[in-house]
């Protein structure tokens, strides 16, 4: 009885949220009690730079730690030289098993991997995508899933990711690494993502961007935003964001930030604001899509 009452209370709280303006209190008091989508973080090509610090930032801001960890190996950061078809199949497994599509965030080459997964789901590299069980670490003998929202059987191909982001992902390294099939696709966002944000640094020698970075564009229905980061930001250092969640001034600013906000980053003696622009932007989107996914889960009549 109590468990049922608690579930009703959680659902009521989640459904009452305005997903466009999630406060720190909403995260701590409402969303923390609800289910959350997986977030898969892809690191760049340099092994010494991972997305683990960014994962720790998200955890410190209130995101569930277990939704960032790999269920098999327990790590926060995934390599970007893996098999994109396997990852597309993994996305399908999570959706079927947990009722929520994971979010994708990639740094440098990791952004290319996020884009490649979107193109896998779009069918650019083949129609048949086997479901991949990330717990067992093995492909299943099927290319379809039971849609947790409708109860119907559907192919992996065509699944849509709610949110994806690419940090400082450029074409230069695609050329140097011989990733020819992604060069023309790298800035064209397919319909297999609802919201996509691309972050670029002007005059980034690693990404190969110049003073006015080439924008990401939607090929169809995806909502695409382009964010130009301050030129002083370090390509390699972009994942280093944990300090922003541990300083009261920067944490408060990030919690209150929203796209279009006119409030400049805080300036205070002894306060480190490095990487605050993309940290705030991504945290806003993560909160929004966490809220929307939780509302879909708790909507009346939805299958679980």
| Torsions phi, psi for 97 (to 5 deg) | -80, -35
Query: Which pLDDT does position 247 carry in this prediction?
Result: 97
| Torsions phi, psi for 266 (to 5 deg) | -65, 150
Is 85 part of any domain? yes
Is 303 part of any domain? no
Is 28 part of any domain? no
The DSSP symbol for 14 reads H
Range of the domain at 44: 37-293
- Report residues of the chain scoring pLDDT below 50: 176
Spell out the residues 6+ positions from residue 264 whose beta carbon is closer than 8 angstroms to its own.
none
Query: Which pLDDT does position 80 carry in this prediction?
Result: 78
CA 124 – CA 102 distance, rounded (Å): 20
Is 10 part of any domain? no
Query: Which pLDDT does position 211 carry in this prediction?
Result: 81
Is 16 part of any domain? no
Q: Among all chains, which residue has been given the structure tokens 């005059």?
A: 203
- Quick one: how far is CA 146 from the chain centroid? 23
Tens-digit pLDDT profile for residues 224-272: 999 999 999 999 999 999 999 999 999 999 999 999 888 899 988 899 9
Is 96 part of any domain? yes
Query: Which pLDDT does position 3 carry in this prediction?
Result: 61
What is the CATH number for 125? 3.40.50
Overall number of domains in the chain: 1
Query: Which pLDDT does position 173 carry in this prediction?
Result: 60
Is 3 part of any domain? no
Query: Which pLDDT does position 24 carry in this prediction?
Result: 97
Query: Which pLDDT does position 82 carry in this prediction?
Result: 84
Query: Which pLDDT does position 62 carry in this prediction?
Result: 98
Is 253 part of any domain? yes
Query: Which pLDDT does position 212 carry in this prediction?
Result: 83
Contact criterion met (CB below 8 Å) for 219 and 210: no
């Amino acid at each position: 009885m109590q468990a049922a009452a608690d579930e009703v209370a959680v659902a009521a709280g989640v459904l009452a949220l305005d997903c466009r303006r999630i406060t720190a209190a909403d995260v701590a008091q409402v969303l923390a009690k609800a289910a959350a989508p997986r977030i898969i973080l892809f690191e760049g090509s340099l092994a010494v730079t991972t997305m683990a610090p960014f994962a720790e930032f998200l955890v410190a801001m209130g995101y569930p730690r277990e939704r960032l960890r790999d269920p098999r190996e327990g790590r926060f950061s995934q390599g970007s030289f893996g098999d994109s078809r396997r990852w597309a199949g993994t996305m399908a497994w999570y959706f079927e098993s947990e009722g929520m599509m994971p979010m994708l965030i990639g740094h440098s080459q990791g952004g290319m991997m996020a884009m490649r997964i979107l193109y896998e789901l779009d069918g650019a590299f083949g129609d048949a995508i086997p479901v991949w069980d990330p717990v067992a670490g093995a492909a299943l003998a099927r290319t379809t899933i039971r849609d947790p929202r409708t109860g119907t059987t559907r192919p992996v191909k065509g699944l849509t990711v709610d949110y994806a982001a690419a940090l400082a992902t450029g074409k230069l390294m695609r050329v140097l690494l011989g990733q020819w099939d992604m060069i023309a696709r790298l800035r064209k966002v397919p319909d297999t993502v609802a919201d996509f944000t691309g972050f670029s640094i002007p005059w980034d020698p690693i990404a190969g961007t110049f003073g006015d970075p080439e924008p990401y564009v939607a090929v169809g229905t995806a909502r695409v935003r382009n964010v130009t980061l301050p030129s002083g930001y370090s390509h390699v250092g972009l994942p280093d964001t944990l300090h922003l969640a541990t300083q009261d001034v920067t944490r408060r600013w990030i919690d209150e930030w929203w796209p279009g906000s006119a409030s400049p980053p805080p300036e205070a003696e002894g306060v480190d604001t490095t990487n605050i622009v993309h940290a705030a932007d991504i945290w806003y989107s993560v909160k929004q899509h966490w809220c929307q996914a939780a509302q879909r889960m708790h909507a009346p009549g939805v299958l679980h």
